[in-house]
Amino acid sequence: MAKTKNKKSASGPGDNFKKRLLLAGGILSLYGITILGKLFYLQILQHDELWSQSEKQYIRKVKTSRERGKILDRNLVDLAANVEVDSVYVNPRSIVDKQKTTRTLSKVLNLSYRSTLKKVSSKKKFVWIKRKCTLRESKQLKQLALPGIGFKTEIQRFYPKRQLAAGTLGFVGMDNQGLSGVEHFHDTLLKGLSSFKSEGKDARGRYFRGPKPDKIQPDRSPDLVLTLDEVIQYYVETQLAKATKKYRAKGGVAIVMAPNTGEILALASLPTYNPNNYSVSDPTSWKNIAISSSFEPGSIFKPIVAAAAIETEVASPEKIFFCENGSYRIGKTEIGEAAEHKYGWLSLTKIIQKSSNIGVIKISEELGPSHYYDYIRKFGFGSKSGIDLPGEASGQLRPLDQWSKLSAASISFGHEIGSTPIQLVSAISAIANGGNLMKPYVAKAVIQDGETVKEFEPQLIRRVISEKTSRQMVEILKTVVKEGTGKKASLPGYETAGKTGTAQKIDPETQSYSNSAYVSSFVGFAPADAPRIAIIVMIDEPARVYWGGEIAAPAFREIARQTLRYLNVPSKEERVVYIKHA
């Protein structure tokens, strides 16, 4: 026992110290292990989650919208571009005096008080008040510095030339989605895409650096270059407006096409609208009637019959036909000539020159319905031309097995068939260019940062007539302008060729041909032997006068005169000088 006691007394205070040391060491070790465990937990197990949380605190993801591509004319003049504007929103919870704020907002932004008050009184944190304000509105509102009012920059489509080429360009919706025209047809190409980019921010939320460079992306979608020429488009719109105003017409269409390629140099239709503010216009004006409305073409369809007859060798330009002295009966229907003309024997050339209805009926009879139908189809009638614009109509052409005894006769002078202006100008281009039906198109190229990334080439649809037939038809159509119904399309210094047309419209009430509503038209090309331009002018329901040769032919002449001068096609009256390039 004493031994044991001695041992106890010998280990005394030192022993306690060791114990305490061990205890402290154990606690510290446990503490260390806990820290290591926590570190392991935070650094290894929770690494990804915590890293993303920290990123959220000092890195801010900013949504950037890739701008919609511009639309340019063939000389790279802006026809549709983008402009940054402010949209106004409110945080209703931050607004104390809601009525005062509403009064100010409705006054500055020209909004109704009631609807604005409803928005301002909302329980949400974010409510749009007005999107895409004018510069004046946003400037005025910013100066007032009202609490709870915020601004967000948005991209607005802007058409700097206003109405110019509105029908072709179309317009976009509030979110810049293409709704009409080229904007709609090439929306996939033009539309802006949204992406996110990272930016660093400090404790106060101020940007200070980008933590890592984002992948560099172009800030705008590709631009689209059109075949349209701003200057020719202007000539066309001016002349079309003059003609419709002079004759108090309901509307009109004019197209200028390059006959050898199918490029559309100008396309105009009236009534029109300003695409910057399309919503205030009558929605009927948004329709591009040059491609989406079909008309009975009247006598401008006669060259198709003549070309088919010459091509199939049924008739030559000199072959004569008896025109029944102005009255021809098919079944129970009696057909006469325009202006009660009475023609006897006429050659095919004279039939076209004088625009004899009975003459073309006789030609179509010799041609036979089957051949006739084939050539109508070959010239592109009854099917879409394939132009790169939305809403194109096919026109109306009944299948051959649905033709009545009168159909071939009616179609030969442009009735009982519906065709769009684009079909007619494409067909006359085929006659002018040696016999090739070209696909009309308005998109010429795609460019990105000034570099051409894609080009749209001319497309041959098919050969319709031979070069020989084409040359013969050109000679026939020249006589229409020189001596026939199209004298007012005659252009000093240039040889022109074409055909007049005056078609009665169907009266929707009586379902028969109207005696007061006409479509007056002229379709032609110049210079006749080496055509640079094919033009169609159609005036819808002119008042007072209605002959195509009186109304549409002068508009054709003025468009052709200005366009040829602009394209540097010298007239015979001009001096031409050749200078050798140094």
Indicate which residues carry an active-site annotation. Answer: 299
Neighbours of 241 (CB within 10 A): 17
Q: Please report, as ranges, the residues that interact with other proteins according to CB under 8 A.
A: 77-78, 81-84, 158, 160-162, 164, 200, 206-209, 230-231, 234, 238, 492-493, 565, 568, 570-571, 573-581
Rounded to a whole number of angstroms, the minimum distance from the CB of residue 215 to other proteins is: 18
Name the amino acid, one letter, at 263: E
CA 439 → CA 9, 181, 213, 380, distances in Å?
Answer: 117, 18, 46, 10
Rounded to a whole number of angstroms, the minimum distance from the CB of residue 442 to other proteins is: 19
For other proteins, the closer CB: 15 or 574: 574
Q: What is the dihedral of CA 542, 544, 546, 552, to 10 degrees?
A: -60
Exposed / middle / buried, residue 518 (Cβ in 10 Å: 0-12, 13-18, 19+): buried
Three-class secondary structure of residue 501 per DSSP: strand
For residue 351, give both structure tokens.
Answer: 């039939």
For other proteins, the closer CB: 235 or 441: 235
CA-CA-CA-CA torsion sign (517, 301, 533, 160): positive
Rounded to a whole number of angstroms, the minimum distance from the CB of residue 223 to other proteins is: 14
For other proteins, the closer CB: 86 or 337: 86
For other proteins, the closer CB: 115 or 217: 217
For other proteins, the closer CB: 92 or 150: 150
Three-class secondary structure of residue 345 per DSSP: strand
**Pure H helices in 320-420:** 348-354, 357-367, 369-378, 407-412
For residue 558, give both structure tokens.
Answer: 């003025």
CA 367 → CA 11, 213, 305, 312, 360, distances in Å?
Answer: 136, 73, 8, 8, 10
Rounded to a whole number of angstroms, the minimum distance from the CB of residue 264 to other proteins is: 18
How many CA atoms lie within 13 Å of 155's alpha carbon, on the beta-carbon side? 21
Rounded to a whole number of angstroms, the minimum distance from the CB of residue 158 to other proteins is: 6
Do 154 and 84 meet the contact criterion of CB atoms below 8 Å apart?
yes
For other proteins, the closer CB: 14 or 492: 492
For other proteins, the closer CB: 128 or 207: 207
For other proteins, the closer CB: 7 or 575: 575
Rounded Cα distance, 94 and 125, in Å: 9
For residue 528, give both structure tokens.
Answer: 């006749």
Q: What is the dihedral of CA 409, 300, 528, 477, to 10 degrees?
A: 40
Rounded to a whole number of angstroms, the minimum distance from the CB of residue 150 to other proteins is: 18
Contacts of 555 (CB under 8 A, 6+ apart): 239, 240, 242, 243, 254, 522, 537, 539
Do 257 and 424 meet the contact criterion of CB atoms below 8 Å apart?
no
Name the nearest CA neighbour of 115 among 133, 129, 96: 129
For other proteins, the closer CB: 182 or 491: 491
Rounded Cα distance, 269 and 166, in Å: 9
For other proteins, the closer CB: 347 or 571: 571
Neighbours of 378 (CB within 10 A): 20
Rounded Cα distance, 325 and 357, in Å: 11
End-to-end CA distance of the chain: 131
CA 326 → CA 289, 336, 356, distances in Å?
Answer: 35, 5, 9
CA 21 → CA 12, 13, 17, distances in Å?
Answer: 15, 12, 6
Rounded to a whole number of angstroms, the minimum distance from the CB of residue 81 to other proteins is: 6
